[in-house]
Amino acid sequence: MANEVMMQAFEWDTPSDGSFYRNLVKNAKKLKENGIDALWLPPMTKGGSDMDVGYGAYDLWDLGEFDQKGTVRTKYGTKGELHEAIDALHDAGIKCYADVVLNHKGSGDEKEKFQAIMVDQNNRNQDVSEAHDIQAWTHFTFPGRKGKYSEMQWHWYHFTGVDHDDLTDTSAIYRIVGEGKYWDKDVSNEKGNFDYLMNNDIDHKHPEVREELFKWADWFIGETKVDGFRYDALKHISESFINDLSSHIIDEKGIDNFYLFGEFWQYSKETIEEYLKTTDYQVDLFDVPLHFHMEEASKSMGNYDMRKIFDNTIVKDFPEQAVTFVDNHDSQPGQGLESWVEDWFKEIAYALILFRKDGYPCIFAGDYYGLCGPVKKDPLEEMINNMIRVRKNYNYGEQDDYFDDPAVIGWIRRGDDEHKPLAVLISIRDMAEKQMHVGESEAGASYVDLSGKNEDVIIDEQGNGVFTVGPGQVTYWANKETL
C-alpha cells in the first residue's frame, strides 16, 4: 500500500436524504484524481430507520432492498444505488471497504420473556439482582424480507444482554441467563467486562450465531464485491470470534485480496499488542493513541512535547498494523467519544499521518468536506488535496527525524531513485527555523515551500537547508525543479 490514502467517506451528520450513494457515483473520478485510493463506506445494512447512521444494526441481509422499519432504503440509499456506487468507485480505481456491525442488534420486531440478572453499570461482573423474568425486544422476524437469503430468526438466547425490561419499564444492563451464557471473557476489561455496549448484545459463542454470521460474511462479500471490512466496536466483541471469522474470510479471499481493519478504542500499548497477537495480526487497527496525542497537543496551548507525539502509538510500535487518522465520526463534536483535534492543529495533524514512512492514513470526510451537523466546520478539501499530492510525489525513501526540541520537530524523507527528498517542519509555539540535511546531491538546489507560506530555501554545499516555519504551523519543502 505504498503511499496509498484511504478516506472515511461519511461523518455522523451526513445527510439522511438517501443521496449518499448517488453522490459517490458523481464524485468517484474526482476522488481518484485527488489521490484517494480507498473509501471506508458507512454500514450498508438496514438500521432502525432511514435516519440510522448504521450502527443501530437491525437486518444484516437487508442492504436497502426490503420495506422494513418504515423504509426500503437505508440512510444512504437503496441496494441498487449501492451497487452502482461500488461499480463506479471500482471503475475509477478506488477500493471499497464496508463498515460491518457485528456486536449488537437493535429494533427487534417482537417482545420475548426470559430470565436475566441486572448487573452494575460500572462493573458488569457484579450482579445486583437475582435471576428474574424480564421482557425485551429480542425476537427478530424480519417480516419484510420473508426469509430471503436467510431464514434464521433471532431470539433472546442468541444474545447475552439487553438494556431495558419492558415488564417494569426499567433501563439497566441485564445479563441474560441460560445454559453456557455469560459475557464473553476475551473482551475489554473496562467496566469489569465490556462485552455489553448497546441494544441486544450478540452471543458470539452460540453455534447458530456463528454459523449465521459466517454465512452472512460470505454472502455479503460476494453480493457487494467490497474489498475489505472495517470491524466496528472490536473491544466489545470476542477476540476469538473475530480471529475465526477473519481467518475464514482470508482463507476464502486470500490475504492480499481482502483488507481487514477495525476500531479498537484502546490506549494501552500492552492491550493493543495482546489484541494483535490474539487475532494473529490479521486485523489492522486505527491508531487511537496517536489520535489522542494529537488531540492533547492541539489543546495544550503550545505546551505539548512534540518529541513524544509518536510514543506508544501503533504506527511506531506496530507500523505494519497501523491505520492512522486525525478524527472520525465518533470523535467529532457532540458524539460519544468526542475528542476533536482543534482546528488550528489540523494541517499539522495531517502532516503527521500523510508525510511519514509508516501507517495507512485515513482522511475524515468531516475534515475534507466539513461538518454539516449542529457543530459546523469549514471544508479543508483544498489543503488536504495539496497534502495528498505532496505524499504521492515526494513521500519516499528513508526517514531522518529531527525531534530535538519540544515545540519544533522536523524530518526528512530522503527520496529514492525516482523521487527527490521532502523536508517537513512543525512548530506548535513560536516562529522557528531548523537546519536539516537533504543530501549532498541536492547542493545548490532551490527548495520551495509546498504549503505556500515561505520564500525558497537554497541548499548549501554540504546538502543542508535552513527551513522556517511560522507559529502553530507546518511547512513542507521539495526541490523546485520537480514542480
Q: Say which CATH number the domain at 175 has.
A: 2.40.30.140
> Are 333 and 420 contained in the same domain?
no
> Are 109 and 246 contained in the same domain?
no
Q: Is 201 annotated as a binding residue?
A: yes
Average pLDDT of the residues in 73-99:
99
Q: Give per-residue pLDDT as tens, 172-227.
A: 999 999 998 999 999 999 999 999 999 999 999 999 999 999 999 999 999 999 99
Distance CA 51, CA 190 (A): 30
The closest alpha carbon to 294, from 280, 308, 273, 309, belongs to 309
> Are 237 and 359 contained in the same domain?
yes
The closest alpha carbon to 213, from 205, 361, 263, belongs to 205
Annotated catalytic residue within 37, 99, 239, 263: 263
Distance CA 210, CA 154 (A): 12
CA 48, chain centre distance (Å): 22
Contact present, 447 and 479 (Cβ < 8 Å): yes
Q: Is 302 annotated as a binding residue?
A: yes
- 255 pLDDT exceeds 90? no
Q: Which of 146, 179, 202 is the last residue of a domain?
A: 202
> Are 387 and 281 contained in the same domain?
yes
pLDDT tier at 18, thresholds 50, 70, 90: very high
Distance CA 273, CA 262 (A): 14
Q: Is 103 annotated as a binding residue?
A: yes
Q: Give per-residue pLDDT as tens, 430-467.
A: 999 999 999 999 999 999 999 999 999 999 999 999 99
Q: Is residue 173 part of a domain?
A: yes
Q: What percent of the chain has pLDDT over 90?
A: 98
- 300 pLDDT exceeds 70? yes
> Are 66 and 112 contained in the same domain?
no
Residue with grid cell 453522490, as numbered in its chain: 23
Q: Is residue 1 part of a domain?
A: no
The count of structural domains within the chain is 3
> Are 299 and 211 contained in the same domain?
yes
Q: Which of 151, 174, 202 is the last residue of a domain?
A: 202
Beta bridge partners of 408: 427
- pTM beyond 0.95: the answer is yes
Contact present, 422 and 415 (Cβ < 8 Å): yes
Active site residue 232: yes
Q: At what angle do helices 288-298 and 346-354 cross, to 10 degrees?
A: 150
Q: Is residue 116 part of a domain?
A: yes
> Are 91 and 113 contained in the same domain?
no
Active site residue 263: yes
Average pLDDT of the residues in 36-65:
98
Q: Which of 340, 359, 394 is the last residue of a domain?
A: 394
Q: How far apart are the first and last CA of the chain?
A: 24
Average pLDDT of the residues in 159-170:
98
Q: Give per-residue pLDDT as tens, 357-389.
A: 999 999 999 999 999 999 999 999 999 999 999
Distance CA 306, CA 422 (A): 20
pLDDT at 469: 98
Compute the mean pLDDT over every residue in the chain, rounded to the nearest whole number. Answer: 98
- Determine the Cα angle at 359 with ends 44 and 464, to 5°: 145
pLDDT at 254: 84
pLDDT tier at 27, thresholds 50, 70, 90: very high
Contact present, 435 and 471 (Cβ < 8 Å): no
- Going through 203-315 in order, the beta strands assigned E by DSSP cover 228-231, 259-262, 284-286
pLDDT at 2: 79
> Are 234 and 326 contained in the same domain?
yes
CA dihedral of residues 200, 205, 210, 212 (deg, nearest 10): -40
Q: Is 393 annotated as a binding residue?
A: no
Average pLDDT of the residues in 342-353:
99
Q: Is 184 annotated as a binding residue?
A: yes
Residue with grid cell 543530501, as numbered in its chain: 439
Contact present, 368 and 7 (Cβ < 8 Å): yes
Distance CA 21, CA 70 (A): 20
What three-state secondary structure class fits 31?
helix
- For the chain, helix, strand, coil in percent to 5 are 30, 25, 45
Q: Is 251 annotated as a binding residue?
A: no
Q: Domain holding 222: CATH number? A: 3.20.20.80
> Are 234 and 373 contained in the same domain?
yes
Q: Is residue 427 part of a domain?
A: yes
Q: Give per-residue pLDDT as tens, 116-136.
A: 999 999 999 999 999 999 999
pLDDT at 260: 98
159: Cβ contacts below 8 Å, ≥ 6 apart = 105, 138, 176, 200, 201, 202, 203
104-105 vs 200-202, strand pairing mode: antiparallel
Q: Domain holding 452: CATH number? A: 2.60.40.1180
> Are 419 and 385 contained in the same domain?
no
Distance CA 445, CA 481 (A): 8
- Determine the Cα angle at 52 with ends 46 and 57, to 5°: 45
Contact present, 429 and 472 (Cβ < 8 Å): yes
Residue with grid cell 459466517, as numbered in its chain: 214
Residue with grid cell 468507485, as numbered in its chain: 89
Annotated catalytic residue within 37, 232, 347, 449: 232
- 1 pLDDT exceeds 70? no
Indicate if the alpha-carbon torsion angle 210, 215, 218, 223 is positive or negative: negative
State the residue range of the domain holding 352.
6-102+207-394
> Are 382 and 433 contained in the same domain?
no
> Are 121 and 185 contained in the same domain?
yes
CA 451, chain centre distance (Å): 27
